[in-house]
Each structure stands twice: as C-alpha cells, then as structure tokens.
C-alpha cells in the first residue's frame, strides 16, 4: 500500500517528468522551452485573467474527476462520465424551463442541482445495476450508455426542445431564477468577460462531501472494502451488489453536476456538444489525483491550466500549436500509469 507522502509525491514527479520530456520535444521542434513554458504559465496561472479561466476550465473536471475516482474506490471503472454529464445538463435545462420556471430562486437553484445529480446518477446507476445483477462489465455498459445519451440529447436539442428562431443547437434559455452568480458579480476587480462562476464552490463542497463519505462513514468503509476485494467484503457481511449500484449512482451523479457549471453558471441554456471531452479527461484527472478529492482538485487545476495555456501557443510560436498540450496530457497519463518505475528508481518500496 502506498504511503501517504507517496500519494502526492509520485504524481508530482510524473508531472515534472512530463514537462521535461515536453521540453525535449519543443527543442526538436525548434523553439525555446523556457519561452514556451513562460508564455504558457503566464497565460494560465500567473495572471488574474488566466487563473480565472484556468479555474473555469477546471470546474467541470473536478466533477468528472470525482465521478471516476468514486467509482474506482469501489473497484468500478466509470468511463461514462461524458454521457452522464450531458444527461444531467439536459435535465437541468428542461426542468428549469418547463417545470420550475415560476419558482423563486431559493427553491429553483437547489432543485436544479438535485435534478442534475439525480439524472446523471440514474444514467450511472443503470450500468451499476447491470454489473451487480448480471455481471455485465461496467466499462462496456458505460460506453454504450454514452452513445445512447449522445443520441438522446441530440434528438432533444434538434427536435422538440430546440430554441425557435435560431440555427444554433440549443434549448430555450433557463429562467433568471435558475442562474447562479458569476464571480464578477460579487468580487470587485473581476472582469465581466470572465465566465468563472460559483459552480466552482459547489465542486469544492462536493469534494468535501466525497471525502467525508469515503473516509468518515461506515458506508464509505464498505465501498472501499468492496473496491479492495469483492470476496473478502462479501465474507465480512458487506452487501457487495448494493454498494456497486450505489457507488455507480453517486459516480454518475457527480458527473451530472457538470450541468450546474454549464447550464446554470455559464451559457444559461443547454448547448449541443458543449463538453469538449470533460467526461473522458476526468479519467486522467482521477488517475493523477490518486482517486482522492484533494488530488482531484489539484489535477483538475493542472488540466485546466493546460487547456487555457494551449490557446496562446498558436499565437506566439510559429512552429507550435495547442496540440502540444494534448501530447503533454498523454505523457502525464503515461508516467502516472508507470509510477512503479519511479518507485523503484527512488527506492520508495
């Protein structure tokens, strides 16, 4: 079992090594790595605007990272975060527009959050139920559920719930009462153009909730026991099937909460194909974060910085493009997956 300091030390080594390898690639391309990384970090974390966008991009990754991490803790690989977040976002939009449109904000906002969580939870719970009752592999089932979700929300946004008078694939705008504040509305000095919103606080509070559930409750102990060994957990009297279903339900629910950020905090409508792969990047976030809420936050910020900083590489360097960041992401995941190499080299075992 990893020692506590290794949980954070090894990912740091993986990230550092990936940036060193990236520097070698940049040299081969014909650019100066110091100049490239300076532009990258200056526009991602070393300026107020850059940090704000980094946190904005990191917010949905916290939700999807938690979704994957929670499933991993129960020994389940939830690869369906992309479909679950689309279902959650669509559910929030439709509920706020067609059911809660006349509700006051203090009722509508929490109701929308719950609806997004429940919708994503149901979408994640179905593969969990198939796994528990019939042994169907959750990887295959969640992938298939992704395709169903993509087709379903696309039908909704192009058909019965498409906003009239526009060719943009989106629903009607949600009521004002369902919108959550952006940072510039309560913090002086934050530019109005910055889309960072209070979904970030919801994401951080969700991390706290996940930590308390997994490490401070009897049920969390059971989930982690199932993740270590199904047979041992069953022998100890733990209901393995129930924990599998509930873990996948909560996992899908966390992914569905991306809709809070996207629909309630940013666009104020459901916009087709908004995710840009956040559900899949959440897998890398969970791996890098060692399936721990604190690690998920830090990893999400890193990937948010990568997404933000990449936008300026095309503009500043003739021989570089933002695709370099995709290479860095792949290298990071590669080194995280081979951390046993670092442990042997550094004699951590």
Domain locations along the chain = 44-310
The DSSP call for residue 177 is G
Rounded Cα distance, 238 and 246, in Å: 13
pLDDT value of residue 240:
96
Which positions ≥6 away from 104 have C-beta within 8 Å?
177
Q: Name the strand (E) or helix (H) holding 231.
A: helix 230-235
Q: Which of 6-15, 305-314, 336-345 bottoms out in mean pLDDT, i.e. has the lowest?
A: 336-345
pTM of the model: 0.94
- Written as six digits, the tokens of 179 are 């919108």
pLDDT value of residue 179:
97
Residue 39 vs residues 305, 308, 310, 314: alpha-carbon distances, Å = 12, 11, 9, 11
Helix (H, G, I), strand (E, B) or coil at 197: strand
Evaluate if residue 250 carries a pLDDT over 90.
Answer: yes
Rounded Cα distance, 259 and 30, in Å: 41
Evaluate if residue 3 carries a pLDDT over 70.
Answer: no
Number of Cα atoms under 13 Å in the Cβ half of residue 65: 31
pLDDT value of residue 340:
64
Backbone angles phi, psi at 182, to 5 degrees: -90, 160
- Written as six digits, the tokens of 280 are 């899949």
Q: How confident is the model at residue 1 (pLDDT cuts 50, 70, 90)?
A: very low
pLDDT value of residue 128:
97
Hey, which residues does 170 pair with through a beta bridge?
271
pLDDT value of residue 7:
63
Evaluate if residue 245 carries a pLDDT over 60.
Answer: yes
pLDDT value of residue 102:
87
Rounded Cα distance, 336 and 58, in Å: 19
Rounded Cα distance, 102 and 96, in Å: 9
Return the number of other C-beta atoms located less than 10 Å from residue 162's C-beta. Answer: 18
- Written as six digits, the tokens of 97 are 């527009």
Helix (H, G, I), strand (E, B) or coil at 308: helix
Q: Which of 170-184, 279-293, 317-331 bottoms out in mean pLDDT, i.e. has the lowest?
A: 317-331
Residues in the chain: 349
Q: Which of 86-90, 207-211, 341-345 bottoms out in mean pLDDT, i.e. has the lowest?
A: 341-345
- Find out if CATH 1.10.8 is the number for domain 44-310: no
Q: How confident is the model at residue 346 (pLDDT cuts 50, 70, 90)?
A: low
Which positions ≥6 away from 323 have C-beta within 8 Å?
none
């Amino acid at each position: 079992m990893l020692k506590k300091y290794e949980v954070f030390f090894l990912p740091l080594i993986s990230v550092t090594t990936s940036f060193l390898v990236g520097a070698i690639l940049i040299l081969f391309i014909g650019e100066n790595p110091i100049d490239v990384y300076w532009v990258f970090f200056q526009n991602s974390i070393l300026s107020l605007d850059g940090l704000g966008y980094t946190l904005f991009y990191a917010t949905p990754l916290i939700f999807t990272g938690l979704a994957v991490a929670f499933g991993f803790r129960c020994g389940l690989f939830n690869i369906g975060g992309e479909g679950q977040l689309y279902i959650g976002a669509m559910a929030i939009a439709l509920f706020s527009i067609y059911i809660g449109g006349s509700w006051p904000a203090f009722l509508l906002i929490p109701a929308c959050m719950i609806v997004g969580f429940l919708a994503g939870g149901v979408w994640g719970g179905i593969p969990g139920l198939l796994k528990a009752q019939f042994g169907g592999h959750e990887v295959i089932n969640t992938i298939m559920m992704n395709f169903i979700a993509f087709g379903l929300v696309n039908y909704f946004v192009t058909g019965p719930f498409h906003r009239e008078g526009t060719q943009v694939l989106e629903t009607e705008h949600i009521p004002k009462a369902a919108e959550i504040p952006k940072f510039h509305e309560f913090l002086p000095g934050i530019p109005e153009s910055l889309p960072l919103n209070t979904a970030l606080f919801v994401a951080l509070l969700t991390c706290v909730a996940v930590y308390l559930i997994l490490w401070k409750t009897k049920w969390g102990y059971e989930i982690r026991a199932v993740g270590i060994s199904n047979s041992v957990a069953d022998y100890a009297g733990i209901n393995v099937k129930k924990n599998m279903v509930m873990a996948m339900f909560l996992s899908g629910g966390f992914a569905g909460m991306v809709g809070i950020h996207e629909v309630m905090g940013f666009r104020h409508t459901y916009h087709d194909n908004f995710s840009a792969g956040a559900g899949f990047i959440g897998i890398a976030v969970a791996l890098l974060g060692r399936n721990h809420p604190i690690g998920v936050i830090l990893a999400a910020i890193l990937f948010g910085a990568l997404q933000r900083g990449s936008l300026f590489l095309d503009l500043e360097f003739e021989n570089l493009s933002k695709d370099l960041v995709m290479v860095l992401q792949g290298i990071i995941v590669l080194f995280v997956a081979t951390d046993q190499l670092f442990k042997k080299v550094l004699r951590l075992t």
